[in-house]
Amino acid sequence: MSRSKSGLISDLKWRGLIAQSTDEAALGLALEKPITFYAGFDPSAPSCHVGHLVILTVLRRFQLAGHHPIALVGGATGLVGDPSGKNEERALNSNEVVKEWVDRIRVQVSQYLDFDSSKANAARVVNNLDWTQPLSAIEFLRDIGKHFSVNQMLAKESVSARLEGGGISYTEFSYQVLQSLDFLELYRRFNCTLQLGGSDQWGNIVTGLDLIRRIEGGSTHAMTVPLLMKSDGTKFGKTAGGSVWLDPTMTSPYAFFQYWLNTEDKDVIKFIKVFSFLSHGEIAELERLHLENPGARTAHRSLARELTSLVHSEQICSRVEAAAAALFGQGEISALDEETLESALAELPRTTILQGEEIPTWVDLLASTGVVDSKSAARRIVRESGAYLNNSKISGEDFAPSVNDFIFGRFAVLRKGKRDLAAVELLKKP
């Protein structure tokens, strides 16, 4: 990617990463020199999810172009909650929960930025509770609140949508004031002149610009990135099991890799542009290969490798890719480390057996996982030479695994044909 300041806007446009901005010409001029900019992350969960990766990678692109990033973790705004798109109030979490989530997200967002203090544009992470908590209610109302028009606040889409339904509490109604205060404080403390955010935050962001102009007479900028949708109209970052998280304890690296590997053909090049740090030329080559032979899934593998390496490390990416290959008969399952194998098998249909109990036949095991509808269907798979245990073909309908077939004394992998997998776990007796 281009790391020049002047090429940053054109690169973001090419990648489809600009939804809205204030005066683009003025912003382009400002970006010819290093500026300080920020984006906020509220602790509404114990981890960021893949939707946050859009803005995290944009922060990284700005820093690579020479600008000074601030990642704001919302210890204050997280206690209030921004108005959701749903017609209901967010549940308020306790101070202890929010503090724990702030600490976790602070560490998480930090891995995408460079904090090397020897560099002129080293990143910083801040918590808006540091300047919000000392404010008294009277100070907040007199010094900040007086600059906000209720009429304009009511016109914000996030508020007006709620007013048409069940209404909105004063707490969530005030969220935009707190977000504007953040921009003001960062402007005062660090000469921060640009706020980045999702396109659904546009109204709140430009309110912050207005507050800085009113109180400090300063000129600042705003830019939002689009909220991604899949080509089929479904929400990006969701699976049948819920959100795809960046925390490996909430979404395993194997499941993370598979999520990107299973990207729809229509979306894969768009996602590579949005998330990867490959050059325009490299992406154009992937697009050519994808159009020529989509079945080879070259672009899908590149996307999965890029993102898994970015979020979890190259070493972990290599492990989960090896696990995927081994599970589908392209490597030795026994060569995998126990943690990686356990992570991969956690995503599969499974059945369990207690140690000391008689181990059922392969047919019984497969049927109990739900991969097939009946034992007769499982027997037919054996007869048709499509039955495997740990990648070894099963030839008899009465075959039952032995204790020695369980890798690490715990796991066995059932495979039906080329692609349908299931797991068996041998459990210790309580």
Query: In the chain, what are the domain boundaries?
Result: 8-227, 229-331, 348-430
Architecture of domain 8-227: 3-Layer(aba) Sandwich (3.40)
* Percent of the chain topping pLDDT 90: 76
What local confidence, expressed as pLDDT, does residue 4 receive? 54
Please, which pLDDT band fits residue 164 given cuts at 50, 70 and 90? confident
Q: Are 334 and 391 in contact (CB under 8 A)?
A: no
* Exposure string over 364-377, b if 16+ CB within 10 A, otherwise e: ebbbbbebbeeeee
pLDDT at 5: 55
Q: Round to whole Å and give the CA distance between 360 and 349.
A: 17
Whole-model pTM? 0.88
State how far the Cα of 43 lies from the Cα of 81, in Å rounded to an integer: 9
* Structure confidence at residue 329 (pLDDT): 83
pLDDT at 1: 37
Mean pLDDT over 163-172 rounds to 81
Which residue's structure tokens are 């979890």? Answer: 312
How confident is the model over 82-106, as a mean pLDDT? 85
Tell me: pLDDT of 86 over 90: no
Q: Check whether 416 has a pLDDT greater than 70.
A: yes
Confidence band for 104, pLDDT divided at 50, 70 and 90: very high
pLDDT digits (tens, 9 = 90+) for 253-273: 999 999 999 999 999 999 999
Q: Is pLDDT at 155 greater than 70 in this prediction?
A: yes
- Over 50: is that where the pLDDT of 41 sits? yes
Over the chain, what is the mean pLDDT? 91
Pairing of strands 238-239, 242-243: antiparallel
**CATH superfamily, with its number, for domain 229-331:** Tyrosyl-Transfer RNA Synthetase (1.10.240.10)
User: Per DSSP, what are the bridge partners of residue 221?
Assistant: 194
48-55 mean pLDDT: 95
What mean pLDDT is predicted for residues 38-61? 95
CB 77 within 8 A of CB 42: yes
Task: Write a three-state SS string for the chain.
Answer: CCCCCCCHHHHHHHCCCCCEECCHHHHHHHCCCCCEEEEEECCCCCCCEHHHHHHHHHHHHHHHCCCEEEEEECCCHHHHCCCCCCCCCCCCCCHHHHHHHHHHHHHHHHCCCCCCCCCCCCCEEEECHHHHCCCCHHHHHHHHHHHCCHHHHHHCHHHHHHHCCCCCCHHHHCHHHHHHHHHHHHHHHHCEEEEEEEHHHHHHHHHHHHHHHHHHCCCCEEEEECCCECCCCCECCEECCEECECCCCCCCHHHHHHHHHCCCHHHHHHHHHHHCCCCHHHHHHHHHHHHHCHHHCHHHHHHHHHHHHHHHCHHHHHHHHHHHHHHCCCCCHHHCCHHHHHHHHCCCCEEEEECCCCCCCHHHHHHHHCCCCCHHHHHHHHHCCCEEECCEECCCCCCCCCHHHCECCCEEEEEECCCEEEEEEEECCC
Give residue 2's pLDDT. Answer: 39
Q: Which residues contact 63 (CB under 8 A, 6 or more apart)?
A: 69, 113, 114, 121, 123
Least confident range from 41-55, 147-161, 342-356, 394-408: namely: 147-161
- Alpha carbons 342 and 126: distance in angstroms, whole number: 37
Superfamily (CATH H level) for 348-430: RNA-binding S4 domain (3.10.290.10)
